[in-house]
């Protein structure tokens, strides 16, 4: 059993432990990034409760595992993130985008429920990316994790479009006031 005791009370003083045993304040930028990556993974879990095309479902499940890896990298100072995961996202971006019509205007978040949930995940990915930037800039987290989050938000945008298209739902285009 890896986790036999969930309640440790060690965080009652406003700190949390990293995998190397060190402790940081719960408002530390590293902890914020870990939290956003975890929130993103949870949002993808919610999205996976929806009826999805099998290719999208498989991709999202793979991403959940990779996000768990990224959270682990953030929890272990000095750990590395496999840049091959970025190439995997690049391949998925090309594959899922291939059948979509070109964009002529900005798209408002929404559509069917699955696409709307995916838009929320995209926004969380962007926040995780913003929180990751200062860590990467200060060499406190590997740059490949930042690149992964950037590509992931792009892929999630494409998957929003795929989910709407699969459901026969038209995208709502932004109209200038």
Is 39 within the bounds of a domain?
yes
Is 5 within the bounds of a domain?
no
Number of structural domains (the chain) is 1
Q: What is the CATH number of the domain that holds 65?
A: 1.20.1200.10
4 pLDDT tier (thresholds 50, 70, 90): low
**What are the phi and psi torsion angles at 173 (to 5°)?**
-85, 145
Determine the pLDDT at residue 8. Answer: 66
Is 91 within the bounds of a domain?
yes
Is 16 within the bounds of a domain?
no
Closest by alpha carbon to 81, among 72, 90, 91, 92? Answer: 72
**CB-CB contact of 42 with 121 (8 Å):** no
Is 12 within the bounds of a domain?
no
Note down the domain range covering 61: 26-99+106-166
Rounded Cα distance between 28 and 36, Å, is 13
Is 19 within the bounds of a domain?
no
Is 114 within the bounds of a domain?
yes
Is 18 within the bounds of a domain?
no
Share of the chain above pLDDT 90, in %: 76
- Res 11 pLDDT > 70: no
Determine the pLDDT at residue 27. Answer: 85
Rounded Cα distance between 80 and 96, Å, is 28
173 pLDDT tier (thresholds 50, 70, 90): confident
> 3-state SS string over the chain?
CCCCCCCCCCCCCCEEECCCCCEEECCCHHHHHHHHHHHHHHHHHHHCCCCCCHHHHHHHHHHHHHHHHHHHHHHCCCCCCCCHHHHHHHHHHHHHHCCCCCCCCCECCCCCHHHHHHHHHHHHHHHHHHHHHHHHHCCCCCHHHHHHHHHHHHHHHHHHHHHHHHCCCCCCECCCC
104-143: pLDDT as tens digits: 889 999 999 999 999 999 999 999 999 999 999 999 999 9
52-94: pLDDT as tens digits: 999 999 999 999 999 999 999 999 988 999 999 999 999 999 9
156-170: pLDDT as tens digits: 999 999 999 999 999
In which residue are the tokens 């019509």 written? Answer: 101
């Amino acid at each position: 059993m890896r986790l036999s005791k969930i309640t440790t009370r060690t965080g009652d003083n406003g700190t949390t432990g990293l995998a190397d045993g060190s402790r940081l304040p719960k408002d530390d930028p590293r902890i914020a990034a870990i939290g956003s990556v975890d929130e993103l993974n949870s949002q993808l879990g919610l999205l996976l409760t929806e009826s999805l095309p099998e290719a999208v479902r498989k991709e999202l499940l793979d991403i959940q595992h990779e996000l768990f890896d990224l959270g682990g990298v953030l929890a272990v100072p000095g750990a590395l993130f496999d840049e091959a995961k970025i190439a995997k996202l690049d391949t998925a971006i090309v594959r899922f985008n291939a059948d979509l019509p070109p964009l002529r205007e900005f798209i408002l978040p929404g559509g069917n429920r699955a696409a709307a949930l995916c838009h929320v995940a995209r926004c969380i990915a962007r926040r995780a990316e913003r929180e990751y930037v200062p860590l990467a800039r200060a060499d406190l987290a590997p740059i490949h994790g930042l690149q992964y989050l950037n590509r992931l938000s792009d892929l999630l945008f494409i998957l929003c479009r795929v989910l709407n298209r699969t459901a026969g739902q038209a995208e709502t285009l932004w109209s200038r006031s």
